Amino acid sequence: MPIPTYDPFHLPAGALKRLPLLKAAVTFIAAVCLCLCGLLYLQVEQSRRHDLESARIASATLTRAMAQQAQDTFLQADLVLASLADWIQIDGFGPAVQQRLQQTFARRVQSLEQLHGLFLFDKQGHWVITSFDDLHRGAGVADRDYFLFHQQNASLIAHIGPAIRSRQNGEWIIPVSRRLNDRDGNFQGVLMAGIKMSYFDRFFKSFSLDEQGEMALALSDGTLLARRPFDEARIGRPLAEEHIYNHALDGGMSGDGIIRSAIDGVVGRLYGHQHLQAYPLVVTAAMSEESILVGWHDRAFQSSLIVGLVVLGICMFGWVFVRQVRNSEKIEADLRKAQEALELIATHDSLTGLANRRLFERALDIEFGRGARQRSPLSLIMLDIDFFKRYNDAYGHVAGDHCLAEVAKVLKSCCHRKADLAVRYGGEEFAVLLPDTNLSGAMALAEQIRRSVIDKHITHSGSPTGYLTVSLGCYAFVPSSLDSIEVFIQRADAALYQAKHSGRNRVAVLSTEGGLDTLARSDR
């Protein structure tokens, strides 16, 4: 079998690390696509945050405007109540002044569009004076929250109560009331101004708001006073459990947040709130996240579509490129196989499959150098088929080729070590190179080859024995840097010719003992 040899034009497999192009290409394409998707995500997320921040600014501006309007509305009503309360505490509200008070009430209501009416009640909650021409003498207001508040609290500041229906005409109003005391500081009655809820409804409608938007005015404890869209069932309901009112109460004077409304269940509203400075009221404005991000959704879709097309194009290009790489690798593999086949053709005999002269010379050069370095013996067996010309003449060249192939099989079967090299030297002549083998080992292998050829029982009518035989010559020595490869071959060849001249079908050995060449024969 052939031994490893060095060829400057053919590097061993794995000697040169090649770049894994296919893996590198797939990794690069995947990295580019991931980077594009990452950049798209960052751009889309940044755009979303920008839109939400712009909406927060708009919400803060809106709540400030609402708070200012609400404060002005209640402040005007409070100033009217304060001036009337001072007058009444000085002059009282006896029958002599009731006509003049009623006219004053009516004029003040006409001067302020937000006022539904002005009302004066005595300490039992009975009707005394209203801004309406016809005084409605009903059951009184002793059961109203605002009346009970003033009856039980000595404070003279204005009180804003939950929204109620006016007992004068059934309209929804927000009561702003003040306590009236007599000159001794005892409770004398309640002066109340009713602010129209419709006034806030018109004010809320003056703002451009999406269909799912919301605007509200509530007491600081969360009790709803007015809301857009209007829902009569919710008016006056304590809404302290609402997330937005908890947020407003826990925070400072103003703030915002995206919260789900418990009133109508709309998910994702951007709520902004603002507390009134002078009154215990809070206004809120909400815009649905859907309406805020409608433009963002369009931009995100367009950007995603563009990036998706780019990624698709890169993937298609990558698919084509990967196919080209695979084809190139297949072609390279085919070329490598072809190169190996050519190497085999260049270094081996096509008929016998043994190494040829080219590989033999290369192996000799390597083993000479190694033997000289390691001081190890090197042996060479030269063999020739006896009377081969007669064989060709008797049986033809096809049979002669078959005969050569059979002898080559014998050589292959006898060379058990990987380092042993069987060679077709030329024509019917063969050689066996045996590294790390002394002369006795070479003789033993040569004799094994001779007997194995005989055991083939190949008929040869032109041979004296009647069957095919071979003659072999052996030579062994420890090479040095001064020795010649040509001399080494010549001595083994000389031993072969001595075997042939001595009668063939034998092994001859050429040795160098005592400085003289001697010849040994074997015809066993």
Residue positions annotated with a catalytic role: 428
Cα three-residue angle 33-39-42, rounded to 5 degrees? 140
Residues 6+ apart with CB under 8 A from 253: 274, 275, 277
Tokens of 345: 């053709």
Tell me which DSSP letter residue 415 carries. Answer: -
Tokens of 184: 């001794």
Compute how many other C-beta atoms are within 10 angstroms of the C-beta atom of residue 123.
Answer: 17
Tokens of 75: 């402040």
Give the distance between the most distant pair of CA atoms in the chain.
171
Tell me which DSSP letter residue 131 carries. Answer: S
Q: Which residues pair with 120 in a beta bridge?
A: 129, 191
Which value, to the nearest 10 degrees, does the dihedral of the CA atoms of residues 498, 503, 507, 513 take? Answer: -40
By residue count, the chain amounts to: 524
Which value, to the nearest 10 degrees, does the dihedral of the CA atoms of residues 209, 212, 218, 220 take? Answer: -100
Nearest to 59 by CA among 282, 287, 222, 290: 287
Compute how many other C-beta atoms are within 10 angstroms of the C-beta atom of residue 137.
Answer: 8
DSSP state string for 250-275: HS-SEEEEEE--TTT--S-EEEEEEE
280: helix, strand or coil: coil
DSSP state string for 451-473: HHHHHT--B-TTSTTSB--EEEE
Q: Are 424 and 355 in contact (CB under 8 A)?
A: yes
Residues 6+ apart with CB under 8 A from 108: 80, 84, 115, 118, 131
Residues 6+ apart with CB under 8 A from 154: 179, 181, 185
* AA letter at 424: R
Q: What is the 3-state secondary structure (H, E, C) of 150-205?
A: HHHCCCCCCEECCCEECCCCCCEEEEEEEEEECCCCCEEEEEEEEEEHHHHHHHHH
Helix (H) and strand (E) counts in the chain = 12, 17
